[in-house]
Amino acid sequence: MKPDLLIMDSILDILPSGMIFMEADGSILKINQKARDTLGLSPSVQASDLNQKMPDYLIPLVKLIEQATQDIQRAEISLTLPARPEESTLGFSLKFLHSDDTQAPLKIFTFSDITQVQKDQLAMEKIKDELNQSKKLASIGTMIAGVAHEMNNPLTGISMSTSLLKMNLERLKTLPQVQEHPKVSDSIEKGLLEIQKIARASEKAAVLVNDLLAYSKPTQLVLVALPLQAVVSDIVNALKSHPHFSQFGIEIQGQTPHMVRCDRIKLEQVFYNLVKNACDATDGKGQVTIFFSEAKDPKDGSLQVTTHVKDNGPGIDKTVMNQIFDPFFTTKGHSGVGLGLSICYRTMEQHGGLLSVDSVKWQGTEFKITLPVCVEPVYLN
């Protein structure tokens, strides 16, 4: 080989990007060392070896280069490379190099493995979404705390007034003068019915105010290190005995050996809300499957365990997926207040964990309760 060609080969082999040179007839002219490394080829593999026998997993890549008819500035291709459990993504560009010596241009394919870059970007986007959600909930919590306190006083007045009015009307109804006039007695009965409606409405408003206060000022958790498997099993057994879920299926698949620090009562409330939502979405006749997985926290590398709560319901429309943890957002119409999932989200934040969701319309919904793994069983005040 000529000295200038040797120099060129050396330069190509130290480049940080993979490069493949292909001639017009589809034969590979040159492949540099970075390309071999990225594509899982032996360092001794030459272009001539590939022309004689191309590995099956590289055929889509070679076909892409061969069939290209013009420059490609920036694109991606997914390949299943050797010794990798999942698909790799290659970011590439393709350039046609025209020479005075030949009429047919040379194709230069330059690429890099961007699989990890994509994973990092997704992780960063997820972290940003979590931060935005936390900020949004915190600001709304501050606002509704004041509103809830202001609502308490008039609601208390309404409740006292309706009780007093009901007592007076019932006393009036027993008077002989009133019983002698059926029309007056009927009017009193109608008045008592209306008072009963007012009382129910004020009670419902009082419950809403309490929920608002619970959301805006979460109670202090009592965190104890407990085996997650036992906690979830106890919660599921309690839910199965609840009359609301008499026709609803709840099943645990698999086991987890990990311990977590949790407030057992608050965690039960989270599970109850998630299972109840699934039950309501399937008219009480669906199924929830609970299973576990573990992974490292992308922020600090610590171990996390996730409890998956997956139903076979109608799923959540993608147009509202970003709103389901927002306060007062509900898909249940007038029957829902829209605070359940918001409170669950806040509860998991207090645990140092996360509540997230995956759903496809008509294919069910999967909520994920992620908690840090507790190495030593220590009681926390």
Q: Is the domain of 256 the same as that of 312?
A: yes
Q: Is the domain of 303 the same as that of 212?
A: no
Number of domains in the chain: 3
We report the CATH number of the domain holding residue 288 as: 3.30.565.10
The pTM assigned to this predicted structure is 0.49
Residue that is written with structure tokens 């360092």 in the block = 43
pLDDT at 380: 38
Q: Is residue 93 part of a domain?
A: yes
pLDDT at 141: 63
Which residues make beta-bridge pairs with 282?
none
Tell me which long-range contacts 192-198 makes (C-beta under 8 A, separation of at least 24). Answer: 192/166, 195/162, 195/165, 195/166, 195/169, 196/166, 198/158, 198/162
Per residue of the chain (381 residues), what is the pLDDT tens digit? 444 556 667 777 778 888 999 888 888 988 998 898 888 888 888 888 888 888 888 889 889 988 888 899 888 888 888 877 788 889 899 999 876 665 678 899 999 888 877 777 777 777 777 667 666 666 666 666 666 666 766 777 787 888 888 888 888 888 888 787 888 888 888 888 888 888 888 877 776 776 666 666 666 788 899 999 999 998 888 888 888 888 899 999 999 999 999 998 889 889 988 988 888 888 888 999 999 999 988 777 889 999 999 999 898 888 888 888 877 777 665 555 567 788 888 889 889 999 999 988 888 999 999 999 987 544 433
C-alpha torsion angle, residues 294, 135, 222, 263 (rounded to 10)? -40
Q: Is the domain of 335 the same as that of 241?
A: yes
Q: Is the domain of 270 the same as that of 362?
A: yes
C-alpha–C-alpha distance, residues 97 and 68, integer Å:
13
Q: Is residue 134 part of a domain?
A: no
Q: Is residue 92 part of a domain?
A: yes
- Boundary of a domain, candidates 163, 196, 216: 216
- Boundary of a domain, candidates 157, 185, 216: 216
Buried b (16+ CB within 10 A) or exposed e, 126-150: eeeeeeebeeebeebbeebeeebee
Q: Is residue 121 part of a domain?
A: no
C-alpha–C-alpha distance, residues 306 and 293, integer Å:
5
Q: Is the domain of 261 the same as that of 362?
A: yes
Q: Is residue 101 part of a domain?
A: yes
Q: Is the domain of 104 the same as that of 169?
A: no
Q: Is the domain of 100 the same as that of 195?
A: no
List strand residue ranges (DSSP E) for 161-281, in order: 224-227, 249-252, 259-262
pLDDT at 97: 84
Q: Is residue 132 part of a domain?
A: no
Q: Is the domain of 280 the same as that of 370?
A: yes
Q: Is the domain of 297 the same as that of 366?
A: yes
pLDDT at 122: 75
DSSP state of 82: T
Q: Is the domain of 17 the same as that of 89?
A: yes
Q: Is residue 119 part of a domain?
A: no
Domain membership of residue 203 as a residue range: 143-216
Q: Rg (Cα) of the chain, in Å, rounded? A: 33
Q: Is residue 381 part of a domain?
A: no
Q: Is the domain of 331 the same as that of 208?
A: no
C-alpha–C-alpha distance, residues 358 and 370, integer Å:
13
Q: Is the domain of 63 the same as that of 93?
A: yes
